[in-house]
Amino acid sequence: MSAAALSAASAASGLLSAPAAVTAASPVIPDYGDASQCVQNNGLFCGDWFVQQWPVIFAPALLSHIMMTLIAVVIGFIIAFAAALYAHRMQWFAGPFGAVSAFLYTLPPLALFQLLVPITGLTLLTVEIALVAFTLMILFRATIAGLNNVSPDVRRAGVGMGLTRGQILRRIELPLAIPSIISGLRIATVLTVSIATIAAFVIDTGLGSPILKAISSPFNTQFIGAGALAVLLAFAFDGVLALLGRLLSPWTKARA
């Protein structure tokens, strides 16, 4: 095609004509190379591509997923634990807090994320508020149950030893509630790992992001890679918490 024909063609197709002073730019187009056969044919799992893209796609996604989960569980635990201690002393409080946290727990996660967007925007804050909301019921109930299940005899023995109410809580009730609290934390953490994948609808973060981005142009390795990492992460958190529970309540080992 001659230059004249070319310019005629571009004029005919109604493209933006560049100002007369500027000649049309010709970009340097890099060679992106060829993908492996597995990648080109969308094989079930392309290990070579996964390893190659680990530092670019998967490691940042995994790291942000871990941070997202930790922040939500820690803040959720602080709120639920404080509420449980208060409810333990003020029985009337357990009903309303339990009801509100149960209501939050029943909301569809995606709907809650979208409801918050107009208020707190497309930010990490939006994501964390929603994630914390989902942890409250489990953590509150686990803590309350642990505290209330301490046998009255043990409590009376404490009173007999001359312990104050605060001392009974700290030295008797809380230690005995540890197994229950830990089991609540394990459920809440695994739940948060899975719900946090939906956060990608709000901000481009966590393991949900590579999954969401591969939907419009399906690529198995990206789905399976990110999905498997989420499952492994849930297992890892669960294992670490189980171990922590063992360390904090050595007396349960004999029974376990």
Partner 1 sequence: MREFSRRALLRSGALATASLALAGCAGQDKPGPSDAITVGSKGFAESWITGELYAQALRALGLQVTLKTNVGSSEIIDQALTSGQIDLYPEYTGVIVMSLAGREELLATGAETYQVAKEFEASRGVTLLEATPFENKNAIAVTKAFADEHGLKTIDDLRGIGDFVYSTYPDNVSGGQGYEAIVREYRLPNMKLKTLSIGLNYQAIERGEIQAADVFTTDPQLLRSDLVVLEDTLNLFGFQNVAPAIRSDVLERHGSEVSDVLNRISELLTLEAIQTMNAASAVNRLDPSQVAKMFLDANDLL
Nearer to partner 1, 35 or 231 (CB): 35
Choose the binding region for partner 1 from 90-98, 138-146, 207-215, 229-237 (rule: CB under 8 A): 207-215
Q: Which tokens sit at 119?
A: 């208020």
**Site for partner 1 (CB under 8 A): which residue of 47, 95, 108, 121?**
121
Q: Is 216 in the site for partner 1 (CB under 8 A)?
A: yes
Per CB under 8 A, 37 contacts partner 1: no
- Does 200 engage in binding with partner 1 (CB under 8 A)? yes
For the chain, the distance separating the N- and C-terminal CA atoms, rounded to the nearest angstrom, is 81
Candidate segments 29-37, 144-152, 186-194, 229-237, binder of partner 1 by CB under 8 A: 29-37
- From residue 6, how far is each of 3, 72, 173 by CA, in Å? 5, 59, 84
How many residues bind partner 1 (CB under 8 A)? The answer is 52
Taking CA atoms, 138 is separated from 83, 99, 191, in Å, by 12, 12, 10
Angle (CA) 200-203-209 rounded to 5° is 35
Of residues 102 and 125, the one with the C-beta less far from partner 1: 125
Distance in angstroms (rounded) separating the CA atoms of residues 203 and 198: 10
| Interface region with partner 1, contact rule CB under 8 A, candidates 20-28, 131-139, 140-148, 229-237 | 20-28
Structure tokens at 198: 């939906």
